[in-house]
Amino acid sequence: MMDRRQLLLGAGGLPLVASAAATAQTAAQTTGKAAGQPLPNGVDLPEPPKKRLGWAVVGLGSYAINQVIPGFLQADESRMTAFVSGNPAKAKDLAERYGVAKTYGYDDFDKIAADKDIDCVYIVLPVGLHAEYTIRALKAGKHVLCEKPMASTVEECEAMVAAAKAANRQLGVAYRVHFEPLNIEVKRRCKQGELGDLRYITGDAGFNADPQYPPMKWRLDKPLAGGGSMYDIGIYALNGALMLADQMPDSVSAVYAYPKDDPRFKTVEGGLNWRMTFPSGLSAQGSSSYCYAGGSRIKVFGASAAINMDPASDYYDNRANLHRGWDPGTPVRAAPPYTQFAAQVDGFSQATRSNTPHRTPGEMGLRDIRLIQAMYRSADQGGVVVKV
C-alpha cells in the first residue's frame, strides 16, 4: 500500500492532491458547480470505528460529567446511547449536548431491559448504590461496568458476582489504571523481571477532604460510602500494588491514622496505614488519607532495580522513573494511544463482544473489598495481623 508521502507525490511527479484539486477545478469550471472526486487508489485511510456497543451511563455526577462522558468521545468500540439520572432536566441537557437519544430515571431504570440500543451499563453512583443498580442492570440482561470501590460490603460484592453469573453477563470494576499506558508499561517491566524478584512495594493515595464539596457529602456518610479514605482513594494504591505484585497476600494489618476529634469523620475513617505480606517474601505497605494534601504514588523495589511512579493514578499525567541503585533514575515512557477512560470502556466492550474475561472483573473488586475489610478488622484491634 502506498504511504501518505508516496500518495502526495503521485505518478509522473504531480502531487495527487494537486492533481485531484486540478480535476475538481476543471469539473467545477465545466459545470459551474462544486464537484466530488473519487478517492485516489491506495490511500491509507485510518481504521474505521469498529461496531460500537451502546452504553447507558447511570449517575450524572462530577466524575461522569468530567471524565467518563468525555472519555466516550475518544472511544472507537463504545458509544453512549442513554443517560440515567434522578434529575430529568440535567439528563436532557446532557443528552442534547452529546447527541444521546434516550434518558431514564431511577424509577423506570428497569425499562432498559427492552432497550436494544443498550448493551452495557456504566454505574457511576455513590458506592452504597452500586450493588442495587448493578444487579438491576444485570437482571435487565445488560453487561455492567461498576465504578470502584465495588460495593459497601463483601456480601454485596458476592451478590453482584453471583448475579452476573446467573444472567450470563460480564461484570467489571472500573479500575482505570489497568488501561493507562504508563501503568501497563510498569506492570510489563515487573512481570518480565526487569527489576529482579520483587521485594517491597509502597503506595500512598489521599487528599484533604472538603466537607462542603457536594461529592464529598456522601463520601463522609457510611451508608452511601461503604467505608472511608481507604475505600475511596486508598484503594488505588492497594489495587495498584496488587497489579504489580501479581500475587495474593497471606496477611494484612492496619492502623487508623487521622485526628480522632476531626468532625468530618463521624462515620468513616479519615485515614488508614496498611501492610501486606506475601508468601514469596514480598511485602507492601501504604497509606490512604482524607487529611493530607492530594497525591498518589507507588514505588516498587526489586532485587536489582526500582520504579517510582509519582503520580501513579492521576487522570492525565502519570510519571515513572526507573532506578538501578542510587542513580537519579531514567524516565519510563509509554505513548498513550488514547485516554484511560476511553481505553477502559473499549476494553469492556471488547470483552463482552468476544466473551473473554474483562481485565478487571467483579472478582477483583470483591478481592479488594475483602482485603480492606480485613484491614479494618486489624485496625479495630489496634493493628493485629489478620491472615487472609
Contact residues: ligand NAD, CB under 6 A = 59-64, 86, 124-127, 129, 147-148, 174, 176, 214-215, 218, 224, 232
- Can you tell me the distance from the alpha carbon of 124 to that of 137, in angstroms, rounded to the nearest whole number? 13
Comparing CB distances to ligand NAD, the nearer of 232 and 269 is 232
Comparing CB distances to ligand NAD, the nearer of 103 and 277 is 103
- CA–chain centroid gap for 275, Å, is 24
Catalytic residue among 133, 231, 236, 290: 236
Comparing CB distances to ligand NAD, the nearer of 60 and 300 is 60
Contact 163, 151 (CB under 8 A): no
Nearest distance in Å: CB 303, ligand NAD: 32
Comparing CB distances to ligand NAD, the nearer of 63 and 200 is 63
Catalytic residue among 102, 142, 148, 299: 148
Contact 330, 337 (CB under 8 A): no
Comparing CB distances to ligand NAD, the nearer of 154 and 224 is 224
Nearest distance in Å: CB 334, ligand NAD: 19
Nearest distance in Å: CB 218, ligand NAD: 4
Comparing CB distances to ligand NAD, the nearer of 61 and 141 is 61
Give yes or no: 106 in active site.
Answer: no
Residue nearest to ligand NAD (CB): 61
Nearest distance in Å: CB 213, ligand NAD: 9
- Can you tell me the distance from the alpha carbon of 127 to that of 149, in angstroms, rounded to the nearest whole number? 7
Q: Which residue has the cell 452476573?
A: 164
Q: Which of 225, 230, 184, 180 is nearest to 205 (CA)?
A: 230
Q: Which of 1, 3, 109, 120 is nearest to 55 (CA)?
A: 120
Contact 253, 385 (CB under 8 A): yes
Alpha-carbon distance values, 109 to 105, 129, 320 (Å) = 6, 13, 42
Give yes or no: 236 in active site.
Answer: yes
Nearest distance in Å: CB 67, ligand NAD: 7
Contact 88, 59 (CB under 8 A): no
Nearest distance in Å: CB 127, ligand NAD: 5
Catalytic residues: 148, 236
